[in-house]
Structure 1
Amino acid sequence: MNRRKFLALVGGGTILAAGGTVGAVALRVPTKALEPWAQAGSLYSEPRKRALSFAILAPNPHNRQPWLVDLSQADTVVLTVDKNKMLPHTDPLNRQITIGLGCFLEVMTMAAAEQGFRVDLDLFPEGESAEVLDGRPVAVARFTKDDTVARDPLFAHVLDRRSLKEPYDMTRPVPNEAAQRIVAAAKWGTSSIASVEPESIKRIRRITHDALVIETETPRAFKESVDLFRIGKAEVEANPDGIDFSGPMFEVLHSAGLMTREAALDASSQAFQAGFEAVLANADTAMGHVWSVTRGNTRLDQIAAGRDWVRLNLTATAEGVATQPLSQALQEYPEMADLYAQTHKLLAPQGGTVQMLARLGYAASVPPSPRWPLEAKITGV
């Protein structure tokens, strides 16, 4: 479900998400949270605000939307991180959050180019910490009018991009040619690899399955996700971020007291068992995988991984191939350490850091339900 709504500006004000078509919006249930998709594309003539209204649709972990933006300097966007949006248990080094910020910057740059503006990025101009993101700027982006700037054809798919968290059609292979076109979209220095070979699919399905089990059986890690559940329309409208559970089935289960955060944390409950089985079943229907590797693991590497990741995601959308990140095995907490090492040995045998891992496939239902990421925050005026 795409629930990014607005970007709160440092200094006051908001920017609404870029608009889609009325037809697309009508398919989604939480109407208030989804209004920006029908409105925002036409709300802004100011180039930075228009670009940012698309940037807040970028993929990011748990739909946390960890961006804060200051627009107080002319022709400049200063991006910092909202420290209230961290995932301290599953992302203790803020690596995944940084990747999400890289996705944001790439979509912003694409959206600026559509208007004939070049964006020059100064990343971590006041330095960086490998341990934790702090209040220092992540990026200072300067917008310059440049009629020669090349438009990126991938921008056409920004409003359609999604992470499809449903079972994939196991009777329909992903063509290797499509998988290779997806990874060829990377341009910021990450090594992107895709495999649709049966033995590889089998091995990586096992890894992603086991990683989901470990995360679910690690109480603090699992609770971090459950705390971000948004169950039913009212919760989605009140907090249009986090992990969406909306639609008629969830409304009924929530009203009956069967789908609650408390039940989701109770391993003996029906909600826990059904949810656990569904998550594992999704991972086990992968018909291919794609992953990204960087030589190092600096903040600059992580930003580059994010910029390339959204490019891969947009290319998959153009190819009609569904994707869903399954990066639990890449998380840096003690209970995951053994599987983390096994995953790196398999996916990065020459060394480096695996930054992203996702499954590929085609939706089992036709058409797929329109679930893609939607709230957001810009700060600055």
Structure 2
Amino acid sequence: MDDSQHWNASVTQILERACLAPSSHNTQPWRFRVFEPVIELLADDSRALPVNDPHNRELTISCGCVLETLVLAANEADMTAQIQPLPDPDRPQLLATVTLSRSGRHLRSLNPLSRCIGRRHTHRGRFTEAAVDPCLFPRLHQAIQGTGVSLTSLNNLGRRALVAALVAEGDRQLWANVDWRRELAAWMRPATEGDGLVVPSPWGRGIGWAVRRFNLGRLLALSSRQQAQSAPLLLALSTDADTPRLWLDAGRALQRLLLAANHHGYQASFLNQAVQVPELRDELSGLLEGSRPQIVLSLGVPASELAPSPRRPLSVG
């Protein structure tokens, strides 16, 4: 195998690992262009959520997650990655360029997070009642140092109750929007599709029909409130402002946090309903001393292992 073929094989492996990153609704809204030694990361607007995410904030956060995973996967291949975020104002879909080079330093031994890329899954089931290690929060805080993203614990009773109420109200308001329900239903798919929110094949069409037709907000608000109130560890990631660069940074920090949590035996569930409703997001910002909330999540030990979300074929070119 010549140098070019070896580089192409390495890049394919790196990108396949990078695509194991989480994304909103499991839309996987990214694509890549490769020009040795450069990889371009682009937002895939065909996979956007215009009702749920009208400004592409969550899409950009998702791409930040894949960017951070790409860097770690490159380290696994003993390559260094030099990142230039948002390099071209005339190409807003181009979120970053990554220049790869051989390091010769065996970086895979330096970062244990890379070993968690395939083990990290979004958990949509129950957590056990096991207490969270009190050292976990400081370790997570350390994992995202240098990103410019803030991590806040929402675990004290006052904050937890307020967040739980906001999350429940978010469910009620989102589900009352018929267009939002239609968009959600469009991303409810069998696992064989390779993306979206997985529903069992025999009932998938019926579930989608019910989601489009019925407002389940009140029912789900009760469940979400309980989930927030009982979360072993309830956290928020926030930034000083709302800009595409900070959203990209938030995604990178989120993936570092998720992988660090997994390294210590924990998985995450997301509780972003209040972040997705502007008025509720403003209220949540008040709990964060004016910082703009980007992600609300809970961490715990899964009561049962669920299958990972499916992945679509790698999109390059």
State TM-score, norm by structure 2: 0.88
Aligned match for 1:77, one of 39, 42, 45: 39
Selected match of 1:225 from 174, 184, 208:
184
Alignment partner of 2:135: what SS? helix
C-alpha offsets along residues 325-347 of structure 1, whole Å, 9 cap, x if unaligned?
A: 2112112xxxx23211111101x
Task: Report percent identity of matched pairs.
Answer: 21
Looking at structure 2, the residues matched to 115 and 312 of structure 1 have their Cα atoms a distance apart, in angstroms, of: 22
**Is 1:155 equivalent to 2:114 in the alignment?**
yes
Which of 255, 264, 277 pairs up with 1:310?
255
Amino acid at match of 1:286: A
Establish whether residue 213 from structure 1 lines up as the match of residue 177 from structure 2.
no
Please tell me whether residue 379 in structure 1 is matched to residue 315 in structure 2. yes
For structure 2, the residue ranges without an aligned partner over 5 or more in a row are 1-5
The residue that corresponds to 1:39 in the other structure is: none
Residues in 1 aligned to 2:56 and 2:219: alpha-carbon distance in whole angstroms:
30
2:302 paired with 1:340: no
Secondary structure at the counterpart of residue 40 of structure 2 = strand
Say whether 1:142 aligns with 2:96.
no
Alignment of 1:237-316 (within 5 A): 237=192, 239-246=193-200, 251=202, 254=203, 259-267=206-214, 281-316=226-261
1:322 and 1:362 in contact (8 A); partners too: yes
Does the 8 Å CA contact 2:191/2:310 hold for their aligned counterparts?
no
SS, match of residue 119 in structure 1: strand
Query: Distance between the aligned counterparts of 1:136 and 1:159, measured in 2?
Result: 27
Between the aligned partners of 2:316 and 2:118, the Cα distance in structure 1 is 24
Judge conservation of contact 1:103–1:306 (CA < 8 Å) in 2.
yes
How far apart are the structure 1 equivalents of 2:173 and 2:127? 23
Deviations 1:277-319 (A, max 9, x none): 6556544532321111111222111111111100111111122
Deviations 1:190-240 (A, max 9, x none): 11122433333332222222212221122222221121111xxxx321x22
Contact between 2:164 and 2:225, CA under 8 Å: does it hold in 1?
no
Matched with 1:324 is 269
Contact 1:179 1:195 in 2 (8 A): no
Q: Partner residue of 2:148?
A: 189
Return the match for 1:355 from 280, 287, 294: 294
> Does the CA contact (< 8 Å) of 2:173 and 2:217 recur in 1?
no
Deviation at residue 78 of structure 1 after TM alignment: 1.2
5 Å-filtered alignment, 1:20-169, equals 46-71=9-34, 73-127=35-89, 136-148=93-105, 150=107, 151-169=110-128
The answer to whether the 8 A contact 2:167-2:224 is kept is no
1:19-77 deviations in whole A, cap 9, x for unaligned?
xxxxxxxxxxxxxxxxxxxxxxxx99722111101000001111001111112x21111
Deviates more, 1:141-150 or 1:95-104: 141-150
Give the AA of the match of 1:57.
Answer: L
Q: Distance in 1 between matches of 2:238 and 2:39?
A: 28
Aligned length: 309
Kindly provide the amino acid, as one letter, of the partner of residue 303 in structure 1. L
Residues 306, 50 of structure 1: CA spacing in aligned structure 2 closer, same or farther, 3 A cutoff? same
How many angstroms apart in 2 are the aligned matches of 1:276 and 1:338? 17
Task: Tell me: higher relative CO, structure 1 or 2? Use CA pairs within 8 A at least 6 residues apart.
Answer: 1
Secondary structure in 1 matching 2:143: coil
Query: What is the CA–CA distance in structure 2 between the aligned matches of 1:223 and 1:173, rounded to whole Å?
Result: 38
CA distance in 2, matches of 1:282, 1:265: 24
Residues 250-277 of structure 1 deviation map (CA, whole Å, 9 limit, x = unaligned) = 74xx28x8x4311223328xx9987776
Does structure 1 conserve the Cα–Cα contact (< 8 Å) formed by 2:168 and 2:221?
no
Once the two structures are TM-superposed, the CA of residue 322 in structure 1 deviates from its matched residue by: 2.7
Displacement after TM superposition at 1:175 (Å): 3.4
Measured in 2, the distance between the counterparts of 1:92 and 1:345 equals 23
RMSD of aligned residue pairs (Cα, Å): 2.6
Partner SS for 2:308: coil
